[in-house]
Chain A
Amino acid sequence: MLSSQIKSNEIIFGSCNKDLLEEIIFYGIGLGADFVEIFIENTDNSSVLAEEDFITSVSPSFGRGAGIRIFKEKKDGFVSTNDLTKHGLMRSVSQAIEMLDITNNKKGEAFNGLTEHRDYSLSKKKWINEVPSIHEISEKLLVSTKSLKKNNKIITRKGSYSRNLQEVIIASSDGTYVSDIRLHQTVGLNVIASDAQYRSSGSRRFGSSGMPNEFRLWDHEKAANEVFESSMNMLYADYVDAGQMPVVLANKFGGVIFHEACGHLLETTQIERGTTPFENKLNEKIAHESVTAIDEGISEGSFGSLSVDDEGMEPEKSVLIKDGILKKFISDRAGELRTGHKRTGSGRRQNYSFAAASRMRNTFIAKGEHSKEDLINSISDGLYCKSMGGGSVGATGQFNFAVEEGYIIKNGKLTSPVKGATLIGEAKEVMPKISMCGNDLELAPGFCGSISGSVNVTVGQPHIKVDSITVGGR
């Protein structure tokens, strides 16, 4: 068999796959599909874990696969496979067509071939050679965990690094033909402190996209100091008293509350489900006039940034809320089809085994005019949430978030540290209560798990004041 024949019968990364992709799409359209989308990926990931003064885990992993999505009217069928041969991809198309019960006497949309190849990967192919080696990563992680050993109350020290390199090809029957390479690196430090019956923990995570040199520039000493101080501050903290009170949420990861409690409700998947209270509120006031919120995928190096989304659209900067007025929803292809909201370059997925869905990217509340001190000084009895843990939002919009590091505010001053606090509320009730926004906007990386898997995002905000919220405690 000639090598050219072999190539034409299988997706080869780094080669032109246009003929094969067109053949697959023609096949799906010919069988009656309205729309055919092919997403193919090749991943090269690795992670390293340092515990105390040893490297305890090095885990490389590789993956290849395709996700094929067929639309017929507003229904879609999605098939994923590891088989990237022509036969395997054709079989997946057939399976999706069969699932949707499409018969070829129902004419599908026309397909005029793929348009010019938009190759975002050209300048990125060198990344794999520029990222730090396992040896380099290990050395720096060990230095980092060593610098966490600041006193004998620190009983556990961990440093972790992971690198995800994803090469994608996206082709669809509207002519889209795109290639890209995405690089995400994240590094985190964790400690547990203990003294007699007292225990506390501290953690920080840092992350970037598309910056192979970023790990080398990471200030591990500063990170170690922050983690250590956080754990020491909380070691002897009392449990917070529960109740309704004003709170100040710190910048950076404090934005996780907006992300979880409000951001998800502005994704078109929530409109499709009928689970967002904001469905019919476009151009209406849903938040305090001090709140402007943005979701975008374009900030250079931010963890949620991308050159092109997983449906082949360049990401846009979407002003979701402007001065308290709802302006836009976050939309993907299915969202536009089913809800009418235009795509925003937000079709995202964890990998080939998920269909893309409308997902946040870099989401933040814009900065205001107040200083952090202004916010704290305005409260006589309340809580300052310096560091937030994880959280979740329920099917009816109720959210809850753990406060990892909290301080009582008394007469406009920060006083004693408290632990065990949880913030509980509902987005549509809390958003109008964000009465002051600070001038110190910062972003923080994170992972968001939802309908299309776990994706890289950033959350962010300046310091903000919420006039009243339920604080769970003991």
Chain B
Amino acid sequence: MNSREITTQISKAADFLNLKKWDYGASFSNDYSVQVDKGEAKQLKASQKQILTLRVWNESNLVGITTTSDISESGIKKALNQANIASDFGNKNERTEFSPLAKDPVEFKDVIKRNPVGIKKLLTLLREAEVKLLESHESIKSVPYNGLSESFYERVYANSDGAFRSYTKSQAALYLYARAEEKNKKPRSSGSVKIGYGVEDIDIETCIKDASNKTISHLNYSSIKTDKYLICFSPESFLTIINAFSSMFNARSILDGVSLSNKNSIGEKLSTEALNIYDDGLHEKNISSSPFDGEGTPTKRLCLINKGKIENFIHSESTARIFKTIPTGHAGLGSKVSVSPDWIVVEKSEVNSDLKTSLDHSSYDGEFVYIEELNAIHAGVRASQGSFSLPFDGWLYKNGKKISIESATVAGDIKYLLKNIVNIESTQEVTTSGISPHIWVDKLSITGDE
């Protein structure tokens, strides 16, 4: 069945069960991936998947939900039945409705859709990439984590009020994580990830070069003294921190009492006036963009921090209704609808005279710690408390030299971090999770082995 036929099928089954109000979200995907080990194919994978999430509203306007991978006629009927049963336990305290924007026009990005290149081509390309990476430096002994994949999928939202949206996409990803070993030294590992609309859009050579350079740059390492340091966050690491604490902008988290913000936080000063943060799911560089969210609301650019102050929260239908605003296109589809950001864009505002512009990661000759990548986010972030303690890969710049830091964590408080931003560099860099310039923060605690 195609997505139109599924909609018709659901409509018929709902009529049969006397269910007047329903909506659904579905995804259908075909994925192919390869992994290699020293020139040999290790695991080759293909998968065909279909997931259907159905919501129904009962006569008391309470919502029930069911998810199923069985989209046969009987599977759909069973799912509707179960959703109807679940609706008896629907949340009376917070009602859910269709998004008022579910039938608004959506902006479809002019995305490139690629055709599958096939497993054999994926394997050939990854084998070549592994060989090149191994040959790039004598200390690189293996590429233990590697993969090349391509995915083709369709996402659909429809409801009993006549809304119907769907889009199809292709996406490919390459990751290469190398392991370097030298005598009397600990093994070091680093890597690179690239994504594109298709395999032909992935810059494989740059991925190899990045993985090699990063890994080799950590070969000569040293421990760092536990102290407070001037920190330069790479674009990737700063975006990691912002995403980890995105509950500050999340209306669902606010209502659930797990956010540092509250209903009255709009306008609250969080940072230097020089900081702007947007959520921009439709950004041209966002390969994973989706034109609508789980409730069918169109995706749009939204300012989260404007000149250091909270400007907007991200919303689902129900949170928007409670906050007396409109949905922002950030909802999932669930019994309790989740809310999450799409693609964070960090930039310097026009009010930036208080920044120390001499702090530039490529030229500053004072002492500082450069944080390239933050790790173990799920373990080291307490979003509801605002604290973090995270291991990182990075370097200490001191006396004109750059030395890899052996093993260390950076710890602090997100509000302290934002308030102590001392520079936002001018050049933004595109990463897999958003766009940001390098960000400098003063006096964050680093714990090392010394």
Q: Give me the interface of A with B, judged by CB distance under 8 Å.
A: 48-49, 51, 54-65, 74-83, 92, 95-96, 98-101, 134-135, 138, 155-156, 192, 199-201, 239, 242-244, 272-275, 353, 355, 389-392, 394-396, 398, 400-402, 419-422, 424, 426, 470-474
Contacts and interface: CB of A to CB of B under 8 A. Distances in A.
Contacts of B69: 62-65, 82
Interface of A is mostly: strand
A21 to B, nearest CB: 20
20 contacts: A57-B336, A59-B66, A60-B86, A62-B70, A78-B45, A80-B45, A82-B50, A201-B382, A243-B226, A275-B144, A389-B379, A394-B189, A394-B375, A400-B375, A402-B382, A422-B380, A424-B407, A424-B409, A470-B449, A473-B411
A395 B89 CA distance: 45
B179 A395 contact: yes
Given A59-B86, A472-B389, A392 B375 contact: yes
B49 interface: yes
Interface stretch (B4-12, B36-44, B303-311): B36-44
Contacts of A275: 144, 179
Nearest to B33: A78
Contacts of A77: 43-46
A49 B385 CA distance: 22
B127 interface: no
A220 B335 CA distance: 24
A339 to B, nearest CB: 12
Contacts of A390: 376, 378-379
Given A82-B49, A200-B385, A395-B179, A274 B141 contact: yes
Contact of A76 (B44, B50, B144): B44
Interface string B165-199: 00000000000010100000011110000000000
Interface string B435-450: 0000000000101110
Interface string B402-439: 00000111011000000000000000000000000000
B389 A49 contact: no
Contacts of A155: 257
B351 to A, nearest CB: 28
Contacts of A471: 447
B296 interface: no
Interface string B386-413: 1101110000000000000001110110
A49 B335 CA distance: 10
Nearest to A101: B120
Contacts of A79: 45-47
Nearest to B191: A395
Nearest to A70: B44
B79 interface: yes
Contacts of A355: 43, 45
B44 A81 contact: no
A54 B44 contact: no
A55 B89 contact: yes
Interface in B103-149: 119-120, 141-142, 144-145
Nearest to A48: B89
Contact of B179 (A48, A75, A99, A274): A274
Contact of B89 (A76, A134, A156, A272): A134
A415 B177 CA distance: 44
Contacts of B89: 48, 55, 58, 134-135, 138
A79 B64 CA distance: 33
Contacts of B48: 80-83
A243 B408 CA distance: 11
B104 to A, nearest CB: 27
A416 B333 CA distance: 44
Contacts of A156: 256-258, 384
Contacts of B257: 155-156, 192
A420 B177 contact: no
Interface centre among A95, A96, A420 (most CB of B within 10 A): A420
Contact of B389 (A58, A138, A422): A422
Given A51-B256, A62-B79, A400-B380, 16 more contacts: A48-B89, A49-B336, A56-B335, A58-B86, A59-B65, A64-B69, A75-B42, A99-B46, A100-B41, A242-B411, A243-B226, A355-B43, A390-B379, A391-B376, A392-B376, A400-B379
